[in-house]
């Protein structure tokens, strides 16, 4: 079985990292820093995944392919923007990183497309600049 769909929106990672701090007179604390749109991205992915979900969440090994398309930079030349819009691929090499994008998207698919993200035995995640921003998600069962 193969499920493939496009999610339009600005992809966000699950978390940026941890920041340690110690308020005066209190114990050491650590806080997780989450990106502003992280929860919104998961919500958008869930909404679109529900339109393509199988009768029951898959409970078998699956391959997951994620191709993220991140917003174009304002500093890009008109020629580069046109090339990207015509299908040329330009690797995105800044934040958010591939691991966090994959984690947030897997979390959003969990319970809808597959029962748990532990069923993902193979994953290919790529990120490029693109217009419109979003993610092409492909889930395929191992046969």
pLDDT at residue 18 is higher than 60: no
- Omega of the bond prior to 32 within 30 degrees of 0, cis? no
110 or 28, higher pLDDT: 110
Is residue 34 very low, low, confident or very high in pLDDT (cuts 50, 70, 90)? very low
- The tens digit of pLDDT for each residue in 98-121 reads 999 999 999 999 999 999 999 999
pLDDT of residue 142: 87
Q: How far is CA 90 from CA 26, 61, 76, 125, in A?
A: 48, 31, 11, 15
């Amino acid at each position: 079985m193969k499920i493939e769909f496009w999610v339009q929106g600005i992809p966000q990672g699950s978390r940026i990292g941890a920041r340690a701090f110690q308020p005066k007179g209190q114990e050491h604390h650590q806080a997780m820093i989450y990106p502003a749109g992280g929860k919104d991205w998961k919500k958008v992915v869930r909404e679109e995944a529900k339109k393509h979900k199988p009768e029951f969440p898959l409970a078998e090994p699956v391959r997951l392919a994620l191709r993220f398309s991140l917003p174009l930079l304002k500093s890009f030349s008109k020629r580069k923007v046109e090339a990207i819009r015509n299908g040329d691929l330009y690797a995105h090499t800044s934040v958010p990183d591939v691991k966090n994008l994959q984690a947030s998207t897997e979390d959003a698919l969990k319970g809808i497309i597959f029962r748990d993200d532990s069923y993902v035995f193979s994953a290919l995640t790529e990120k490029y600049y693109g217009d419109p921003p979003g993610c092409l998600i492909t889930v395929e069962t191992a046969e």
